Structure 1
Amino acid sequence: MKKVVGLIVMLVFIQQFSFAQKESINWHSFEEVIEKTAANPKMILVDVYTDWCGWCKKMDRNTFTDPKVIEYVNNNFYAVKLNAENKKKKFEFKGKEYSEQSMARNMRVRSFPNFIIMDASMENITQLPGYREPENFVSALKSLLENFDH
């Protein structure tokens, strides 16, 4: 019996360890991306979400865990999570102070989830509103980058 319990414990540990090693999108704060873009210009993907948004949670669970999405986003964008209802977290952007909530309003986000694409100079290019399956999300991002004149 001790051997069986030991084996089960070991299998659970191995499963936990392999799960922890799973790739994920490199999410940054808005402040981090301001610094990163200044040092190494790159497009920015801002995931504007709320805690109560079911479709936002589904994006996190289904789309943002897909290996193709992870690879494409990490290779082509700095990714930011922005809580559209957070009034407490403040940062400076282009000489003004914003909360995550006021930044979402400034970006004219009215529905969730919503994805703001910014160029390397941190200017908004477009919005991609609504839940998207992994393949659709990657193809929308690819199409946008192909049509964007860097």
Structure 2
Amino acid sequence: MKKILGIVMLGLMVSLPLKAQKEAITWYSFEEVIDKVEESPKMILVDVYTDWCGWCKKMDRETFTDKKVISYVNENFYAVKLNAEDAKKKFEFRGKEYSEEEMARAMRVRSYPNFVIMDATMENITQLPGYREAKPFVESLMALLENFKH
């Protein structure tokens, strides 16, 4: 009996840390998504932010930690974080080199946070500017995907 109890306790101790790990949105770099979308086409959600943006931090803290948001974004999009003021990090896109700052400008982002939605061919479809709570954020993404399918 002690042996069985020991095995059960060991099983619980091993599985508890796995459950304690929080689910999170899988964030990719822009260059990672360029490769991923070729392998397996999916729409792209680009979170354009700045380090000083309070609403961006609130999105990270509250909206992006919501289980429904995490599940919906991970299932339907490749999610990208793009710092609109990072001029150092460079990547190539369609034969041209961009910094994250230059890409944000090329996407015509002028306010933060801003969510640029791209299709699987990496063409910009629309922007969803401003802070959004979890439920309205998921609803906007659902409506967008529904409209895009038609």
Identify the TM-score tier after normalising by the shorter chain. Answer: 0.7 to 0.9
Gaps of 5+ in 2: 1-16
Residue ranges of structure 1 left out of the alignment (5+ in a row): 1-16
Match of 1:66 in 2: 66
In the other structure, the counterpart of 2:35 is: 35
SS at match of 1:46: strand
Give CA deviations for 1:66-90 in whole Å, capped at 9, x if unaligned. 0000000000000000000000000
Aligned to 1:92: 92
Match of residue 45 from structure 1: 45
C-alpha displacement of 1:149: 3.1
- Taking structure 1 as the reference length, the TM-score comes to 0.87
Counterpart of 2:119 in structure 1: which amino acid? Answer: D
* TM score, norm. by length of structure 2: 0.87
Q: Does 1:126 align with 2:136?
A: no
**Regions of 4+ moved over 6 Å:** none
Amino acid at match of 1:41: P
Change (3 A) 1:18 1:52: farther
Cα 1:18–1:61, aligned 2, differ >3 Å: closer, same or farther?
farther
State the percentage of identical aligned residues: 76
Instruction: Report the equivalent of 1:6.
Output: none
Aligned to 1:88, what secondary structure does the other structure show?
A: coil
Q: May I ask how many residue pairs the two structures share in their alignment? A: 136
